[in-house]
Amino acid sequence: MTDDTQDIIGDYKYGFHDPENSTIRFDKGLSEQVVRDISELKNEPEWMTDIRVKAYRHFEERVMPEWGNCALLDSIDFESITYFLRSSNKTEKSWDDVPDDIKNTFDRLGIPEAEQKWLGGVTAQYESEAVYHSIREDLEEQGVIFLDMDSGLKEYPEIVKKYFGTVIPHSDNKFSALNTAVWSGGSFLYIPKGVHVEMPVQAYFRINAKNMGQFERTLIIADEGSSVHYVEGCTAPSYSTDSLHSAVVELIAMDGAKIRYSTVQNWSSNVYNLVTKRAVAHRNATVEWVDGNIGSKLTMKYPSVLLKGEGAHAEVISVAYAGKGQHQDTGAKVHHLASNTTSNILSKSISKDGGRSSYRGLLQVTPKSTGCRSKVVCDALILDSDSRSDTYPTMEIGNSTSDLEHEASVSKVSNDQLFYLMSRGFNEEAAMGLIVNGFFEPFTRELPMEYAVELNKLLELEMEGSIG
């Protein structure tokens, strides 16, 4: 690694990159032909090609969002992005068979070690497609399907056709249209009725090439009475030019099912992270989004839940850290579409070194949904005078029997708390670090331990030099 590169990377420990060694690389830019070529290359059924083309046309027609950080959004040059890059000719089931350069990357990220210790299954996606995939045999025997999305489409086309785009149609927004047009990779997970997957399954997403667009598509279906915890992590090298990550994640929790989806997003600060995540919760189902946003240049992500069946419950816990040059525009949306549905949203953010964090949320109760309850809490810390914090919550209440509350506060770290810790022997930096870790604690305690430890380390790195 050169000194120049190290300068760009700074403290970002995943900022290394490997020499690009692609087997297929599309020219930069997007056209209908590119969309058709991706579909043809993957040998997809005609219906999927049609969906892609339809989505591409919608993407072309749709204007950029007129809200949020329009200046940054408008600076995305869709013509300078590579929309498909294949690094390996197949998805390996044995770690030893993964190409050495890619394997080295994931070794450095600790993926094989994590898999051996505590995962029920793992997918590793490098650029556009999965390069490694495995699932524990006992889960496979119980009928759990855990595949990368391309294999899912090949092996279970009827299930994919039934659910693909039902939660997030291509016309939902400009970036869901883009994803539907050029999607590649992602996870396909199906949990049969009554099966409880005790250990989390994980996907790891890595962008390595410059000006790369990663458009993974994830579909998780938890059948009646089942449960699963899915964890995803993301990193990319720090280049001086920008990359785009625009994923679509659809979750379907059938009656009585439970899905927890945890994310620790740690993209490097040259990545636009524009993701659409939405879940449908049927009768008595529970969906939990646990969402941590540490990296990226601009993140716009609002995990949503459609509470469609009576008694369904949604839980969203999110944290965001906005450092120098970063804008974390995150939040949550919950739509109470059925009676006696409940939701909790907890959002915490920290802005530092000129960073900007925004909470943008929606809580909707439709006229026919009686007896709904919801609570939203947003807390923000601003650590210096150059930084900024915004809160944009929306409550749309269409039913008089609902009980909803929202509260938010923005403040700096309390001098009393700092003084208390320093009077017990901590220096100011350590005291500040403890307070920040404590501030994020409601989030980290919901993560698997390894992720929580990793997140705390990342925060410590980000907080270095925050005093004085």
Partner 1 sequence: MMYHQMPIPPRSEHLWRYTPWPRIHPTKTDDVPSADDVIFSNDGPQVLNSIQPSQDSQGDIARAFLQAAGGSSSQMSLNDESEPIHINARASGHVAVGHLHLDVKGSAVVFLHISGEPEWVGLHITGNLHPNAHLAFGFINELDSNTKFLRCEDWQLDRDSSLEHATLSVGGFRCKSDLRTSLNGTGSSVRQSITVNADGSRHDDKHVEIHHHHGHTQSDLVMNSACGGNSHFIGTGLLTIAEGANKSDASQVFRNLLLSEKARAEAIPELEVLADDVSAAHGAASAPIDRNQLHYLMSRGLSPEEAQSVIVNGFLYNAFSNLTNKQLLEEMRTRLTVHLECELKR
Q: Applying CB under 8 A, which part among 201-209, 240-248, 387-395, 454-462 lies near partner 1?
A: 387-395
Measured from the CB atom, the residue of 139 and 383 that comes closer to partner 1 is 383
CA distance 49 to 161: 12
* Cβ contact 218:247 at 8 Å: yes
* Cβ contact 223:197 at 8 Å: no
Options 384, 438, 457, 465; binder of partner 1; rule CB under 8 A: 384
Query: How many binding residues for partner 1 (CB under 8 A)?
Result: 36
**Using rule CB under 8 A, residue 367 touches partner 1:** yes
**Least distance in Å: CB of 355 to partner 1?**
12
Q: Applying CB under 8 A, which part among 20-28, 65-73, 88-96, 301-309 lies near partner 1?
A: 65-73
**Least distance in Å: CB of 350 to partner 1?**
11
SS3 assignment, position 9: helix
SS3 assignment, position 190: strand
**Using rule CB under 8 A, residue 43 touches partner 1:** no
In this structure, what token pair is assigned to residue 406? Answer: 């929202």
CA distance 203 to 53: 27
In this structure, what token pair is assigned to residue 278? Answer: 């939405």
Measured from the CB atom, the residue of 309 and 355 that comes closer to partner 1 is 355
Measured from the CB atom, the residue of 41 and 70 that comes closer to partner 1 is 70
Options 226, 387, 444, 466; binder of partner 1; rule CB under 8 A: 387
**Using rule CB under 8 A, residue 65 touches partner 1:** yes
Measured from the CB atom, the residue of 24 and 64 that comes closer to partner 1 is 64
Measured from the CB atom, the residue of 125 and 343 that comes closer to partner 1 is 343
Q: How far is CA 65 from CA 74, 169, 352, 354, in A?
A: 9, 17, 26, 24
CA distance 58 to 56: 5
Residue 25, C-beta contacts closer than 8 angstroms, at least 6 positions apart: 82, 84, 85, 86, 209
**Least distance in Å: CB of 82 to partner 1?**
31
Q: What is the DSSP letter of 286?
A: E
* Interface characters, 390-419, with partner 1 (x: CB under 8 A): xxxxxxxxxxxxxxxxxxxxxxx-------
CA distance 267 to 251: 23
Report CA 420 to chain centroid distance, whole Å.
37
Measured from the CB atom, the residue of 87 and 364 that comes closer to partner 1 is 364
**Least distance in Å: CB of 419 to partner 1?**
16
Parallel, antiparallel, or unpaired: how do β-strands 248-253 and 217-222 relate? parallel
**Least distance in Å: CB of 331 to partner 1?**
12
* Interface characters, 156-195, with partner 1 (x: CB under 8 A): ----------------------------------------
Q: Applying CB under 8 A, which part among 12-20, 151-159, 241-249, 379-387 lies near partner 1?
A: 379-387
Q: Single out the residue of 266, 246, 260 nearest to residue 290, CA to CA.
A: 260
CA distance 448 to 229: 10
SS3 assignment, position 422: helix
CA distance 236 to 17: 8
In this structure, what token pair is assigned to residue 409? Answer: 């506060």
Measured from the CB atom, the residue of 28 and 373 that comes closer to partner 1 is 373
Measured from the CB atom, the residue of 173 and 227 that comes closer to partner 1 is 173
**Least distance in Å: CB of 182 to partner 1?**
26
What are the residues binding partner 1 (CB under 8 A)?
A: 65-67, 367, 380, 382-412
